[in-house]
Structure 1
Amino acid sequence: MDLLYILQTNFMPIILGLVTVILLWKNRRGQSHSRLPPGPAPIPLFGNLLQMDVKAPYKLYMKLSKKYGSVFTVWLGSTPVVVLSGYQAIKEAFVNQGEEFSGRANYPVIMTISQGYGVLVSSGKRWKDLRRISLMTLKNFGMGRRTIEQRIQEEAKFLIKAIHEYGDSVVNPKKMICNSIGNVISSIVFGHRFEYNDPMFQLIQKAVDDYFNVLSSPIGAMFNMFPRIVWWFPGKHHRMFAIINQAKDYMRAQAELRLKNLDTSDPQDLLEAFLIKMLEEKDDPNTEFCYDNMVMTAWNLFSAGTETTSSTLRQSFLMMMKYPSIQGKVQKEIDDVIGSKVPTVDDRVKMPYTDAVLHEVQRFMDLAPTSVPHKVIRDTEFHNYLIPKGTMVLPLFSSVLCDPELFQNPDEFDPENFLDENGRFKKNDGFLAFGLGKRVCLGEALARMELFLFFTSLLQRFTFSGTQPPEEININPECASFGRMPCSYECYIKVRNVE
């Protein structure tokens, strides 16, 4: 009797509290989300989290798409997430109803860093204004002018020089490639490159590396699920937040220095272009051109632009080590078309095999299986379902990149996926490596230029080989939360004997 009394006294309030929370949760879910697409039954409080591998959630989504079709709902805790699978559904959402699906949902790690500022995380007017100035800057200092091509060519020479210094030694190319890509972004943001050993450049590079390291770690996954709790845990996430704040402080300080001698008729980089817009709209209370948006947009370009392009290049050289015959065909095309001159962007149209190989690397790698999450900006009817305003939406790009109806042998690395029967380059609608619709990667043209020029410049001069036989080389990218990164590797980079 005493034991029963103790149980009732100590545990009954807890039990009643849990029952109340579950009932409220179920009632809220039923009232607010009654017309959401179907999906697996969630567990109260946890949703479907216990069913998924937090390092590779897209694997569960791929499995669920076979059961529920092209549109379904999963629950991350108490938050519903609509997943879109297959090319047709993704196109209907992001192209046909692009405005409704143009919002950006954000993970708590990213929001803690950005506080809602910057082109990556914003929606509505802020996103449109920041995307416009970012595209303008990339066009003026990047995409549309020879100057950025020359800067990439220059940076490729520095990378070649750095590789030469290793001689016949085994090397992990990650840091060298990251430095080179980081300097291309630096030329756009700051108007100049850094020496690789420059302390501030290394701080920015470490901030980028720590950022993706935390995002792909268990502590990052836990922070994204339970931010208010995990914030109080000690760990590397706090060191990451601190070093990113240092990088942001440096970017702001650089902008303030430029303001003293700013030539408003001739901006030289992103910071100056942004400062000019700030001066032009200084009397507009609704302007989005402020220091916070400028610094975060610069950080977005560094973090997204450096990691994605450098990871793709590292994966491409890993594939060349795995398939030396493909590497040989690429090098023959380089020798036939480019010879000993410096590679240019114009060479790409004359090199269909090399272009196909680079496309296939990106398809096989599947860098961002679900991209950065979207959200609907208003209540949206889609496939006879109602998706409430603000609901997170994930496009399952993996379902397209491995679709057997779009690609032959989708589980194998095969450049023929992008070649016709006459060996000419063939476009494929299923190539969604840069996204689709209004929020397609704003640096796509720059990334394509970097991939081609660095890839051809290095294979013109060097041959990549593994420290083990090709058949033993692991080419499967490592899963990292919402991304896939090349596995770490060491290799030999041998100088080619080319006439």
Structure 2
Amino acid sequence: MDIFLALKTNVLSIVMAVLFLLLLWKSRGKQSNFKHLPPGPRPLPLVGNIFQFDGKQAYKYYLELSEKYGSVVTIWLSTTPVVIISGYQALKDTMIGLSEEFSGRLNYPMIMKATLGYGVLSTNGHRWREMRRFSLMTLKNFGMGRRSIEDKVQDEAKNLVKMMNKYKGLAFNPADMVSNAVANVICSIVFGHRFEFEDPQFKFLLRTVNNYFIMLSSPLGQIYNIFPRLVSLFPGKHHELFRDLKKAREYCISETKARINNVEDASCPKDFIEAFVLKMEEEKNNPDTEYNVENIVSLIWNFFSAGTETTSSTIRQALLLMMKHPDIQERVQREIDGVVGQARWPSIEDRHNLQYTDSVLHEVQRYMDLTPIAVPHQMMCDTKYNGYVIPKGTVVYPLLSSVLSDPKLWKNPSSFDPENFLDENERFKKNDAFVAFGMATVPPEELDTTPTNCSFGRMPRIYECHAIPRT
């Protein structure tokens, strides 16, 4: 038995060694096929450069590489090359000047789990163009940026203020109520109604979106995107997330099917799903139609995942920065009082007269740097740029953080300063590089406004605040 056990062990060792050598050879061969790529740090066999940076702070590593190697840099995630584009001019040259060549979307395994390759966030070609066109047209018809959707926003804002007033000046964490308010605006557009905050289905959808966003930004999520089959073999929070994603899809499917043959007024759909269902009926005899249940379900998820967490995070960060900078908060309140007063709610028509407030909102987004790395792209064809050849299929990371923190483009890039968006006459000033609240529970100088989870996206820190009605 000992002889057979020893023989079995030796055979297994030999097999593992051979497999390792084959992978090593394949890795070296693959890297040699990309010899005309931009420069970058030397990758290790099999793993590439993944052990050379902090998973939570990947964009900072990319910024360091751009300072060393220039505006186009190549790194290797395992055996996959990734080209990082940084700096305003390089991003303009590639994302606008060579938009067709750089227009592909990367099908990340984590994103594919949620969308199954449908919708707009993880699609290319005809499907992407058709779903994007329909979504923009439908939202425009619903009044995106106009009165109908503005009413929904104002209603949720009123409800949010009402909830804050319940604390009567005591400290509270605004995270959940802000997320609920933002999500309900999306629900009103997509489902045609809002949810009560304690509704179990509503809470489930919000929890799933939040966990999804956290997973995308976590080291586990990044490793899954590199080694999806391997990571799937091990237990972890990703399995729980995948189960919730499946349940969320099933709910969206049931909402869609409930509207088929039940639209009351075909000339005036009451929500996004109804509009899509009517388009499905219109194209039911088209064998190549993109108007199917799979696409509407993924579009719904796109709205929630791309809208809820990002918008609520921006609002929460804005509140935190107002606590940190009470002088700026006071000036915003003074301008709103002068333009709007306290007898009515602000409207989109007031924006032109709220010059300082507009600059503050822009600066919140610039300073927060919500998405340091934009949605990853993929090359549609072999492309020459800046003396290098980027092959078809190569993954491209547009490093937006390199623009939002560039001292050549901003007055004070490292500080929260609305002056970055004001001209010499204290009027709001657009910048092409731009890709009222109570008291703090701690002294403003002690507040840490640095966002967390820095990879796919950044979120505000957990904090408590006071909301005190003004007289």
Q: For structure 2, list consecutive stretches of 5 or more residues without a partner in the other structure.
A: 1-5
State yes or no: 1:475 paired with 2:449: yes
One of 418, 424, 427 as aligned partner of 1:424: 427
Structure-2 separation of matches of 1:125 and 1:491 = 47
Please list the CA deviations of residues 319-351 of structure 1 after superposition, one character each: whole Å capped at 9, or x if unmatched. 000000000000000111110121001111101
Secondary structure of the 1:485 match is: coil
**Aligned ranges 1:254-403 → 2 under 5 Å:** 254-262=255-263, 263-340=265-342, 341-403=344-406
Between 351-360 and 9-18, report the one with greater CA deviation.
9-18
1:168 shift after superposition: 2.3
Secondary structure of the 1:163 match is: helix
**2:413 matched residue in structure 1:** 410
Secondary structure of the 1:359 match is: helix
Structure-1 separation of matches of 2:414 and 2:80 = 32
1:220 shift after superposition: 1.9
**Aligned ranges 1:235-254 → 2 under 5 Å:** 235-254=236-255
**What amino acid sits opposite 2:453 in the alignment?**
C
TM-score (norm 2): 0.95
Contact persistence 2:371–2:400 (CA under 8 A): yes
Contact persistence 2:56–2:455 (CA under 8 A): yes
1:12 shift after superposition: 5.5
**Aligned ranges 1:114-125 → 2 under 5 Å:** 114-125=115-126
Structure-2 separation of matches of 1:410 and 1:294 = 40
Contact persistence 1:55–1:482 (CA under 8 A): no
Between 249-258 and 58-67, report the one with greater CA deviation.
249-258
1:371 shift after superposition: 1.4
1:286 shift after superposition: 1.5
Structure-1 separation of matches of 2:79 and 2:143 = 43
1:144 shift after superposition: 4.7
**What amino acid sits opposite 2:441 in the alignment?**
T
Contact persistence 1:322–1:473 (CA under 8 A): yes
**2:169 matched residue in structure 1:** 168
1:208 shift after superposition: 0.8
Question: When the two structures are aligned, how many residues end up with a matched partner?
Answer: 464
Secondary structure of the 1:170 match is: coil
Structure-2 separation of matches of 1:358 and 1:74 = 34
**Aligned ranges 1:4-83 → 2 under 5 Å:** 11=13, 14-31=16-33, 33-83=34-84
TM-score (norm 1): 0.90
Structure-2 separation of matches of 1:236 and 1:257 = 32
Structure-2 separation of matches of 1:37 and 1:144 = 42
**What amino acid sits opposite 1:392 in the alignment?**
V
Q: For structure 1, list consecutive stretches of 5 or more residues without a partner in the other structure.
A: 433-458
Secondary structure of the 1:213 match is: helix
**What amino acid sits opposite 2:199 in the alignment?**
D
* Cα separation, partners in 2 of 1:10 and 1:264, compared to 1, 3 Å: closer
Secondary structure of the 1:301 match is: helix
**1:444 matched residue in structure 2:** none
**Aligned ranges 1:176-215 → 2 under 5 Å:** 176-215=177-216
Structure-1 separation of matches of 2:399 and 2:114 = 25
Secondary structure of the 2:453 match is: strand
Contact persistence 2:74–2:82 (CA under 8 A): yes
* Cα separation, partners in 2 of 1:12 and 1:195, compared to 1, 3 Å: closer
**2:3 matched residue in structure 1:** none
Structure-2 separation of matches of 1:279 and 1:13 = 56
Structure-2 separation of matches of 1:28 and 1:206 = 40
1:17 shift after superposition: 3.8
**2:222 matched residue in structure 1:** 221
**Aligned ranges 1:120-159 → 2 under 5 Å:** 120-159=121-160
Between 307-316 and 284-293, report the one with greater CA deviation.
284-293
Contact persistence 2:56–2:217 (CA under 8 A): yes
Structure-1 separation of matches of 2:11 and 2:183 = 62
1:207 shift after superposition: 1.2
One of 464, 467, 470 as aligned partner of 1:493: 467
1:244 shift after superposition: 2.1
Please give the root-mean-square deviation of Cα atoms over the aligned residues, in Å: 1.8
1:256 shift after superposition: 1.2
1:289 shift after superposition: 1.0
